[in-house]
Structure 1
């Protein structure tokens, strides 16, 4: 089972968007050199200004995460950060509370694991509602399983904070739209006033490359 992960936003210099896309494709080719990396996604935040990209990856245990942080992809990122990025990358370590991995037929073909769109949703629990938010996310799997267009879905927690998130991926925009209009999203947004300090922050993603 996946238990930990990383979310690394990358704020690109406006002149380097093509170069950072190329860099992420190169990162994709290096993932097989890290056998303890379970799933790896490189994405672009849609309509972001400044242009923002990210790497989201998961691991079965802390050993795998540490191997990745000292591996070839992380080294290449740090070596190229000053030329590609406006600011140094902030590496957010997270716990994966629960996940759904349901590859599409033929997802092993191509470079995006059968998905082209995604979502990154972050939200902060009220101090007295942290356990309730955690329980809500863990209980959402049956609702996600009922969404045939949701291929990968991860509920995450940022340790030491009251911040949680959902990162998920879809074959196409129709699958993403069905999820946004579905029961999980309705339950989360419908509970925002009771459980959260504010409205969830939702960002649409374009998948650049993915390895699962």
Structure 2
């Protein structure tokens, strides 16, 4: 069961949209090896707007994921994004996952 998540939203610089999309596609390969991440979704929500949603069983998993991935995101942000990403730590009220 998932109880907590992270929702990250950001807008790519106009000349960096393809690079951001590529970064998100390659991030999937890294996250697949992260046992604490129950679900991970990278989304385009507008022409240059993106979001990532991660779901975890508990706070320890969420914090472990954040500790592993927040620095690379922070370091990439000035070159790729119009402004720093918006990060929300969320409580999951309900979820439907494969196999559930």
- Give the gaps of 5 or more residues in structure 1: 1-113
CA displacement, residues 7-50 of structure 1 (integer Å, 9 cap, x when unaligned): xxxxxxxxxxxxxxxxxxxxxxxxxxxxxxxxxxxxxxxxxxxx
The equivalent of 1:55 in structure 2 is none
Q: State the structure with more CA Rg.
A: 1
Compare relative contact order (CA 8 Å, sep 6+) and give the higher one, 1 or 2.
2
CA displacement, residues 174-194 of structure 1 (integer Å, 9 cap, x when unaligned): 110011111x43322210010
Taking only aligned residues, the RMSD between alpha carbons, in angstroms, comes to 1.1
The equivalent of 1:144 in structure 2 is 31
In 1, the alpha carbon distance for the partners of 2:62 and 2:81 equals 23
The equivalent of 2:82 in structure 1 is 197
The equivalent of 1:129 in structure 2 is 16
In 1, the alpha carbon distance for the partners of 2:90 and 2:59 equals 10
1:187 aligns with 2:72: yes
The equivalent of 2:64 in structure 1 is 178
Q: CA deviation at 1:129?
A: 0.2
CA displacement, residues 60-118 of structure 1 (integer Å, 9 cap, x when unaligned): xxxxxxxxxxxxxxxxxxxxxxxxxxxxxxxxxxxxxxxxxxxxxxxxxxxxxx11000
In 2, the alpha carbon distance for the partners of 1:128 and 1:172 equals 38
In 2, the alpha carbon distance for the partners of 1:158 and 1:145 equals 22
Q: CA deviation at 1:147?
A: 1.4
Tell me the TM-score normalised to structure 1 length: 0.44
Q: How many residues align?
A: 97
Instruction: Kindly report structure 1 stretches of 4+ aligned residues shifted beyond 6 Å.
Output: none
CA displacement, residues 138-192 of structure 1 (integer Å, 9 cap, x when unaligned): 0011211221100000000013x3110101100000110011111x433222100
In 2, the alpha carbon distance for the partners of 1:180 and 1:203 equals 11
